[in-house]
Amino acid sequence: MAFAISPTWAKKAVAFPSQCDAEANRADKNASPRTALAPLPTTTACKPASIASPDGRSRVEVAYKKVEIEPDYFILQAYLRVTTPNRGTHEAALPEGFQNIDLLWSPDSRAFFVNGGNGGGYWGFWVYVYLADDPTEPRDITEAAQRDMLKEFPPCRAAYPNGKDATGCKEGSRDIDVVTCMKAEADPKYSPEYNMTGIHWVNASTILVMAEVPCSSSYGGIMCQVMGYELEVPTGQILKRLDARELKLQWQKSMAWDFRIPDPPLYCF
C-alpha cells in the first residue's frame, strides 16, 4: 500500500508517523514532527498499515491507540503487531519518541529495524532492531558503536572556537571540566548518547548504522562528526568501521537525504 510520508534516513524503508494529534482541528497539517517544537501531524496522517516481509510470509501491522498524555489532551500513538508463521501475532511497542519512523525488513525476513527519535532537530535519533519471532523487546545494538565514537572523537579534547578565541583552547573558551570529562570517558558504562541511525541491511545479520555527534555548538570542535558501522545483529559487535568519506562513497545510494561530509574535528591537545 502507498504511504503518505517519505523515509527520513533509510531510503528503502517504509515510513509512518509515530504520533498524531487526536484532535484534528488542533494540529497543523503542514508541520513536521521532526522537532520537539513542531505540532504533531493531523489525525488523518496516522492510518493503519501493513508492511510485508521480503518473503511475504510475515508482516508488521502499524496500528494506533488513543493515549492521554496530559489532562484532557490525547494523541494517537503508533504500535506494532508482528505476525510470523512460527509465532503467530504479537504486539510490540515502539521505543519512546515522537519523530517519524523508518522501518526496514532484513533480506531474510527474520528481523527489521526502526529509526526514530525523541530529541530536537539535531539530537536524540535512535535505531532499534526487532527479531520477528521475538518482537516484544526492541534491541539497542549500538553500545559498541557509542563507545567507539568516544575514542574516535574524544569530547574532552574538543576546541570551542569563538569570536574572542579562534583556536577555542584558551582559558574560558572551553566550558568543560577536563578531569571530570576524562573520568566519564574512562567509565565503560558511560554512553555519550550520540545519534544512531540505521541506513540499510548489509546482509541478513548485519546492519549499516550512521553514528553522529549532534550538530550542536555544545559539542565544540567535534560537532557533526560522523562514522559508519556495520553491526552484527543481535550482538551489536562492530564488524567494520567507515569514516565519513567511505560512508558517502559506499552508502549514499541507500540514504534518503544528501549526506554531507563534515569538516575535520578541532582539538586542543
pLDDT, one tens digit per residue, over 116-131 is 999 877 899 999 999 9
- State the chain's mean pLDDT as an integer: 91
Sequence spans of domains, the chain: 1-136, 141-269
131: cell is 527479531
Those residues whose C-beta lies under 8 Å from the C-beta of residue 134, and which sit 6 or more positions away, are: 87
What's residue 117's pLDDT? 95
Collect the ranges in the chain with pLDDT lower than 70: 1-4, 24-38
Which amino acid, 179?
V
pLDDT tens for residues 9-39? 999 999 999 999 988 656 454 444 445 556 7
What's residue 31's pLDDT? 47
165: cell is 578565541
Q: Do residues 9 and 258 make contact, with C-beta atoms less than 8 angstroms apart?
A: no
What's residue 178's pLDDT? 81
Which amino acid, 202?
V
pLDDT tens for residues 38-53? 678 888 899 999 999 9
What's residue 189's pLDDT? 84
What are the φ and ψ backbone dihedral angles of 172, each rounded to 5 degrees?
100, -25
What's residue 36's pLDDT? 52
Angle at 34 between CA 33 and CA 39, to 5 degrees: 30
What's residue 163's pLDDT? 87
Q: Do residues 114 and 138 make contact, with C-beta atoms less than 8 angstroms apart?
A: yes
